[in-house]
Amino acid sequence: MKRMVGPAEARIAGHHGPAFTVGQDGDGRWLAVAMHGSQAGVFPSQHAAMTYAEMQTHHRRGSIRLVLAPSAFDR
């Protein structure tokens, strides 16, 4: 028997490639931003931002893109 999924799970499951981008802004804050802009958060550490993104994507492999350039979110 197939398990029913909610709209958020269906949206994530149907998406190929990263669903979230995690990186720092120019002020050193860590951000986790959904690729479609529907969800985002500001965090005190990379670990906290990654944990949030992992929870939102149900730990799906390949669902998070980590950007190491500090000013990636200032553009």
Residue length of the chain? 75
Q: What is the pLDDT of residues 22-39, one digit of tens each?
A: 999 988 999 999 988 889
Where do the H-state alpha helices sit in 1-75? 7-13, 46-56
Q: Is the pTM of this model over 0.95?
A: no
| Sequence-distant (≥ 6) Cβ neighbours of residue 71 within 8 angstroms | 24, 25, 26
Distance, in Å, from the CA atom of 40 to the CA atom of 25, rounded to the nearest integer, reads 13
Distance, in Å, from the CA atom of 27 to the CA atom of 46, rounded to the nearest integer, reads 14
Q: What is the pLDDT of residues 51-74, one digit of tens each?
A: 999 999 999 999 999 998 775 566
Domain ranges of the chain: 16-66
